[in-house]
Chains A and B, each alone.
Chain A
């Protein structure tokens, strides 16, 4: 860790994303608060793990950071440039530097295109290289992700889940990006194949100096991959801290509950009494104050009234809780 202080590659400030749901015969127009007031920075060369339960806004946040959708409020700066203030062609150029790997390798590859077509497309869109160069690049991409170059002439259905995820990664690597958002990239894979893909992510990061936002609901995966970890609940960041900080006490009550609930493959640790009662509330009806207060075992009256400021409580350790 004795590196010089790395520059933030990406800085998000006070991001909001609110989806208006259309009124139907049965329901009034409603607002879905997917992301609420998130500020976050990604340092060049780090892996930031983003963990949270389904519907907490992890994927929406990932897409906002990549400028795949405009935020309702707030801004995203990549390498110092405010993404939504850039002219369109500049933004398109910058997109080469920021790529995404999706969760479901069955749904994210077009079944009617050959692998060559899929991998070549980014180069064609950005008007890079001659035909021969592009072919060479595609072969190199396959090599980088551990697939044979014969794969070029095949279709996605001829590959297993793990191989398809390798293809998804190869496509993301095509334009030599600096930042990759990996949105649950191993949740659809079998346990024995999952490890291959996690190792691949790590070796590529080392080889190419990539920066990852690694989104997962699985704390074991997050603890394995991340340098820093961000915990999200109902659209808000609850806690951001370096990985090692998570083995000590004094974490956000939600983080503590999450850590305790996560099943670990260790029969020495038997089932603890569940700390949290009830379900996470719907993002259509976010509770007042701290969104976690209805389930928090330590909640006090003030938790219901005001949202606790997201503040620094230790070196590189930020959280949002009245009680910590």
Chain B
């Protein structure tokens, strides 16, 4: 992938497997990407494709006795993979903030919002209790919470879903991290609240020049706020490109299938049948040899039983597919994306 000036986050050949009774199951199978500061990268894919495991692996949040991890994760000149647990504590929540999907389970129900936000500040900034609380109030105000002092004294169950997600964002931003990883930050929310949270994230991202890794299964969310998109399928990145390019000229058969299978909001024309991708995503233990999409791919051929190469079809657009080896995407042999 394109290496401009040194990126803020540079993940090289990240592999994460889980120990299962049936042996090692690969959840992330060699993921490589980079993220510049001030950039929003979307990581999209269906459930079980390894998006969340990628995020947890970057933060080294997976228990070591359950998983095996390899590869490099360069962040600000250091390989996170080689850091000791104590050093990782200095980075997590401080340099890298994390926003989780389900704000109710990500917050501790028996501590007030104030306790939870100020904990981060006391730990990483060494602030005293009152100083941390007033800093937490500032943080809540920054994420658009009205009457922050009152909210600080409340418990998570007293807040609505939208407010809880704002509190979680305030917590992730408390130490002014350079990188924020947001894992499905709006999936649990209603659309009107989702719109508020997305607007907030994109405002904060510009204001604070954050790098944001946005993980989502929702192509609409990704289309609206990301600069670049990486599409994941069964543990690998199958395509990465600037957002407008990826939506306008998808190159990987899976990306094409995914985009064609999503109903568009269109009230005008009579709807046609959606082009569904046949079958379903493979499970971890049963990955097919070679390209993992091959069993569902309308353009699969014999070569696909070998691992496909990463091919740069433009300087900023890469695809992991044999079709593009000749640079034509196999279009001379097959009709344009028939599903």
A residues within 8 Å of B by Cβ? Answer: 53-54, 160-163, 190-196, 198-199, 202, 217, 219-221, 223-225, 243-247, 257-277, 279-280
Residue numbers in A under 8 Å from B267 (CB-CB): 223, 243-247
Interface residue ranges of B253-288 to A (CB < 8 Å): 257-259, 261-268, 271, 273-278, 280-281
Task: Indicate whether B127 reaches chain A with its CB closer than 8 angstroms.
Answer: no
Q: Are A196's CB and B276's CB within 8 A?
A: yes
Q: Can you give 23 contacting A-B residue pairs, CB < 8 Å?
A: A53-B190, A53-B191, A163-B280, A191-B217, A191-B261, A192-B258, A192-B261, A194-B261, A195-B262, A196-B276, A223-B271, A225-B263, A243-B267, A258-B191, A261-B191, A261-B194, A262-B191, A265-B220, A265-B262, A267-B223, A267-B224, A273-B199, A275-B195
Interface residue ranges of B196-249 to A (CB < 8 Å): 196, 198-199, 202, 217-225, 243-244, 247-248
Q: Are B191's CB and A191's CB within 8 A?
A: no
Interface residue ranges of B143-194 to A (CB < 8 Å): 160-163, 190-194
Q: Are A195's CB and B265's CB within 8 A?
A: no
Task: Indicate whether B39 reaches chain A with its CB closer than 8 angstroms.
Answer: no
Q: Are B199's CB and A192's CB within 8 A?
A: no
- Please give the number of chain B residues whose Cβ is less than 8 angstroms from any Cβ of chain A in the complex: 49
CB of B320 to closest CB in A, whole Å: 17
Q: Are A199's CB and B191's CB within 8 A?
A: no
Q: Are B244's CB and A267's CB within 8 A?
A: yes
Closest B residue by C-beta to A229: B267
Looking at the complex, which one of A191, A198, A272 makes contact with B258 (CB distance below 8 Å)?
A: A191
Alpha-carbon separation in the docked complex, A260 to B192 (Å): 9
Looking at the complex, which one of B47, B221, B247 makes contact with A190 (CB distance below 8 Å)?
A: B47
Closest A residue by C-beta to B246: A267
Q: Are A192's CB and B274's CB within 8 A?
A: no
Q: Are B191's CB and A266's CB within 8 A?
A: no
CB of B219 to closest CB in A, whole Å: 4
Closest B residue by C-beta to A221: B263
Alpha-carbon separation in the docked complex, A194 to B261 (Å): 8
Task: Indicate whether B46 reaches chain A with its CB closer than 8 angstroms.
Answer: yes
Residue numbers in A under 8 Å from B261 (CB-CB): 191-192, 194-195
Looking at the complex, which one of A161, A191, A223 makes contact with B265 (CB distance below 8 Å)?
A: A223
B residues within 8 Å of A by Cβ? Answer: 46-47, 160-163, 190-196, 198-199, 202, 217-225, 243-244, 247-248, 257-259, 261-268, 271, 273-278, 280-281
CB of A278 to closest CB in B, whole Å: 8
Q: Are A217's CB and B190's CB within 8 A?
A: yes
Looking at the complex, which one of B219, B222, B271 makes contact with A224 (CB distance below 8 Å)?
A: B271
Residue numbers in B under 8 Å from A160 (CB-CB): 280
Residue numbers in A under 8 Å from B217 (CB-CB): 190-191
Q: Are A264's CB and B274's CB within 8 A?
A: no
Residue numbers in A under 8 Å from B218 (CB-CB): 263
Q: Are B265's CB and A219's CB within 8 A?
A: yes
Q: Are A224's CB and B194's CB within 8 A?
A: no
Q: Are A263's CB and B224's CB within 8 A?
A: yes
User: Given A162-B280, A224-B274, do A192 and B190 touch, yes or no (CB 8 Å)?
Assistant: no
User: Given A263-B218, A279-B161, do A269 and B268 touch, yes or no (CB 8 Å)?
Assistant: no
Q: Are A264's CB and B277's CB within 8 A?
A: no
Q: Are B274's CB and A217's CB within 8 A?
A: no
Alpha-carbon separation in the docked complex, A190 to B35 (Å): 27
Residue numbers in B under 8 Å from A262 (CB-CB): 191, 220, 265
Looking at the complex, which one of B194, B219, B221, B278 makes contact with A191 (CB distance below 8 Å)?
A: B219
Q: Are B191's CB and A265's CB within 8 A?
A: no
User: Given A192-B258, A217-B190, A276-B192, do A268 and B244 touch, yes or no (CB 8 Å)?
Assistant: yes
Alpha-carbon separation in the docked complex, A259 to B274 (Å): 21
Alpha-carbon separation in the docked complex, A195 to B272 (Å): 11
Alpha-carbon separation in the docked complex, A128 to B225 (Å): 55
CB of B223 to closest CB in A, whole Å: 4
Q: Are B247's CB and A265's CB within 8 A?
A: yes
Q: Are A265's CB and B192's CB within 8 A?
A: no
CB of B189 to closest CB in A, whole Å: 9
Alpha-carbon separation in the docked complex, A228 to B237 (Å): 40
Alpha-carbon separation in the docked complex, A277 to B199 (Å): 12
Alpha-carbon separation in the docked complex, A225 to B270 (Å): 10
CB of B217 to closest CB in A, whole Å: 6
CB of A106 to closest CB in B, whole Å: 13
Looking at the complex, which one of B220, B224, B275 makes contact with A195 (CB distance below 8 Å)?
A: B275
- Other than A247-B266, A270-B224, A271-B195, give 20 A-B pairs with Cβ distance below 8 A: A192-B46, A192-B257, A192-B261, A192-B280, A194-B261, A195-B263, A219-B265, A220-B262, A223-B263, A243-B267, A260-B195, A263-B221, A266-B220, A267-B224, A269-B223, A271-B198, A271-B199, A273-B199, A277-B196, A279-B163
Q: Are B247's CB and A266's CB within 8 A?
A: yes
Alpha-carbon separation in the docked complex, A53 to B190 (Å): 6
Q: Are B192's CB and A193's CB within 8 A?
A: no
Residue numbers in A under 8 Å from B278 (CB-CB): 196
